[in-house]
Each structure stands twice: as C-alpha cells, then as structure tokens.
A and B are shown apart, each in its own frame.
Chain A
Amino acid sequence: MGKETVIPFGPQHPVLPEPIHLDLVLEDETVVEAIPSIGYIHRGLEKLVEKKDFQQYTYVAERICGICSFMHGMGYCMSVESIMGVQIPERAEFLRTIWAELSRLHSHMLWLGLLADALGFESLFMHSWRLREQILDIFEETTSGRVIFSVCDIGGVRKDIDSETLKKINSILDGFEQEVSEITKVFLNDSSVILRTQGLGVLSQQAAFDLGAVGPMARASGIDIDMRKSGYAAYGRLKMEPILETAGDCYARTSVRIKEVFQSLDLIRQCIALIPEGEIKVKVMGNPKGEYFTRLEQPRGEVLYYVKANGTKFLDRVRVRTPTFANIPALLETLKGCQLADVPVLILTIDPCISCTER
C-alpha cells in the first residue's frame, strides 16, 4: 500500500465551468476517496421568496440555472398552477414542451462540447458549440432571450410562435440534425474518444439505484426512469421511450445523451405537427394556498419543485432539489479507483451544474 496524498481539485480548474471543490485522496495515481465541498456560489434564491411575490418569483426561479432556465421556470409555474387549480391552455402546454426540448438540445450540445474540451479535442468542442448556436438563435427569435427566456408565466406562456416560424424551426432542425449526426459519430466511433471513455467510471445498476442517481446518469446504468413518461405538459400526447444503456460507463452516458439529442428533435417535430390553435394564457386571479410537489425531467435529470403557499401573495417556502445534487453521491462512487488523469472526464459525465445545486 502506497502513501496517501490529498490533492485539492477545484474550485477553480480548467475543466470546471463552475466551482466545486473535491479533496482527492490518492495512492500513487489512483483515487481512493473523494470528499466534496460545495458552497462557493450560494445565492440565497430560495430565501428570496420571502421578498418577491409569487408572480415576480417566476423570474427568480428561472435564474436558478443558466442552462435549464426554462425548465426551472416551468417547474415553478406548474407547481403554483396546480396549487391554484389553474388549467393552462393546450397550446401553451405544447409551446412549453417545444421550449423544454430545445433547452435539452442546447444543454446536451453544450455538454458534448465540454466533454470534448475535457478530452483535449478542441476542434470537436468548437463544432459542438457552433451547432448549439443555431438552437440559441431559435430561442432568441421565439422567446426574445438566448439563455434566460422569461417566457413561462403562471397561467401559460407569454409569447406565441406563429406557424411560419414553426415551419422555419423545422427546417433549421433538419439542417441541425444532419450536421449533428456527423459530429456525434466522432463521439461514438473515434478511437481517441473511445479510449478515454469506454470502461471508465462504471456505475452498476444496483449502485445507481442505491445512490439515487437520476437522469442520463441513471439511464446509462440501465434504470428506466424518465419523468417525461409521467406525461406532464404535452408529453402525455407524444410518443417517446426513455433511452437506456446498460454499461454504466462514461461511453454509455455519452451515448445516452447523444441519443437524447435525436429524441428531442423527434419530440419537437411531433409537437409542431400536433400543436393546436388557441389561447396561450389564462388569467390568474387571487393568491395560492396549499402545497405541491412537481417532478420534471431536466437535461441533467429529475428536478423536484416543492412550493408551499399561505394564501397571501408571498409564498411560505420554495424548495428545489436539482439533478446535480442527486448525482454527486454517484459521482463519488465512480471516482473511487480511477486514475487522477481521468477525474476531469468523470466529473464532466454527470454534467455538473453547481449554481443550481447551490441556488
């Protein structure tokens, strides 16, 4: 047995887009334990609910995360709508689904880029982000924002997409699909990428279940869990099956996310074909009273929204359990026994989003 050394990893590290600190206990080059500490970007957004009324808080909720911003707003709005017994128009449900899937697309493209960057494959990183730009442009045209959209509101959505634009989105996505299938072949087939990802950080199905992994992390280990199957928003009317892999290594997690990119494209097309005409928003009167739990599928996994309201315009409590938080125990498990040089890739494969973990 070699001598144990502790190497601090982060909070500032080239592969980390956001600050998380890990104390890596090493024996030679092998990690035997990883001790995480978070708390570098806590912003107190849950506490802010005492100062902002429940309508203003929609704008706070979507600022919890810069990547799944739409789905944070949506989770919050769905909770408040359920407490108030508001049924939003069907068109709004479909529009929310389209934006949610576009968010998944742009989040997964961002992640693919970051993975390529962690592997040292810079041109692949730039091409992934170049493609992501097309999705951001669709967002800017339809919601007015590139990453923070302010388009989801209690009672529906604030902006409509006309049929011309829907057609245009369809044709942009056709081009996008063609280009993205070229790029993703590199992630799945290129020898240098495979050497870095295959067989690395294996998380068994039982371990994923015991540690409460969510999202692509759990699905890559063969756990059939996808909140979209519960049929919230318009998902109940769309055809989709969760994408599963069984290997549970970094390659499987990459492959799940890549297949989800194509699944999202398919879901958006289904939405565009099925979207009904009509209103996009209903007027919401009064204040909410009661409590509610919402579960949504974000790009990184399942998010829980708990809202408790007391009948005034200020809510009692908002609590968010974000997917990265749920995936950290699984990450620590996969880190055990890996080489120091593989740590950045392993951390990236959970797609960490620290600012929503800390809020």
Chain B
Amino acid sequence: MSFFSMTKTLIKSIFHGPYTVKYPLEKKESFPASRGRIEINIQDCIFCGLCARRCPTGAINIEKAESRWSINRLRCIQCSYCSEVCPKKCLKMSNNYTAPSFENVEDEYCNARVPDNKENNRNIAGAC
C-alpha cells in the first residue's frame, strides 16, 4: 500500500499544461482517412441507383427520370458503403464532419442532361 502513488503523474501534468485543444481557437486537424460528409460529383453520376440500393439506412434517393440524386444527411451513418460500390467513383467521403443541421431536409443535386450539348450540360449541372 502506498499513499502518494499518484503524485508523480500529477506533478508531470502540472508542468505539461493542458492536454486538451482549445477549440475553437485551436483546431484539431482530422486525419486524412477520417469519415465525414458524402460528396457527389454529379456530372459523372449515371443514376444507376446502386448507392441507394446498398445504403443501409436508405439515406439516398434517386429520381432517374429527373436526373436527381438526393441525400438525407441526418440519416447517413457515414459508413462509406455507397462510395465503395459506385461504379463511376463519383461519390467521395470528405474528412470533415457534417455541419450541424437545423432541419431535416434532403440535399438535392441535379444533372439535367442534354444529350448532344456537353457544354450546356456542364452549365446546367449544379444549378439546382
């Protein structure tokens, strides 16, 4: 039995200073591999629907006829299964946390394809 077994650790801590990060003044960088928000490059999406079928929480909705891809960010559990199965590799998981949300809405991305006018297609994409 001893009485002062903690003293060494405590003295070390006094000289070390705080171990915590003073957020928001100081920010802890996420690791490159950290999980975060799902980002889509809508121009490459072919609306195959694979991501929506595989998503375990049903967070993704696809309207093929209207070329619309939407995600409910509050449902997403950040498993990155969708980005793994996407045949066009247009889904990517960024390493930033999803920003806080105030309402339960779906983020929509459209790509109104105009078959023989690629230039026009690019302009329309991302407009909604």
Contact = CB atoms under 8 A, between A and B. Distances in A.
Interface stretch (B38-46, B73-81, B119-127): B73-81
Contact of B10 (A123, A137, A150, A191): A123
B3 interface: yes
Contacts of B54: 55-56
A182 B9 contact: yes
B31 A189 contact: no
Interface residue SS majority, chain A: helix
A57 B45 CA distance: 26
Contacts of B33: 140-144, 159
A159 B84 CA distance: 12
B5 interface: yes
A190 B5 contact: yes
A124 interface: yes
Interface string B21-37: 00000000011011100
A123 B77 CA distance: 34
A183 B9 contact: yes
B84 A158 contact: yes
A126 to B, nearest CB: 9
Contacts of A166: none
Q: Report which residue of B5, B30, B84 has the largest number of chain A beta carbons within 10 angstroms of its beta carbon.
A: B5
A52 B3 contact: no
Interface residues of B, number: 23
Contacts of B84: 158
A59 B81 contact: yes
A145 interface: yes
Interface in A47-94: 52, 55-57, 59-60, 63
Contact of A194 (B1, B10, B13): B1
- Among A56, A143, A191, max chain B CB count under 10 A is at A56
Nearest to A130: B19
A145 B79 CA distance: 9
A144 B80 contact: yes
Contacts of A183: 9
A255 to B, nearest CB: 14
B77 to A, nearest CB: 7
B6 A123 contact: yes
Contacts of B1: 189-191, 194
Interface in A173-215: 182-183, 185-186, 189-191, 194
Given A59-B56, A60-B56, A130-B19, A144 B35 contact: yes
Contacts of B2: 189-191
A317 interface: no
A269 interface: no
Interface of B: 1-3, 5-6, 8-10, 13, 19, 30-31, 33-35, 54, 56, 77-81, 84
Given A59-B56, A189-B5, 15 more contacts: A55-B54, A59-B79, A59-B81, A60-B56, A123-B6, A127-B13, A133-B19, A137-B31, A140-B30, A140-B33, A144-B34, A144-B80, A150-B78, A150-B81, A182-B8
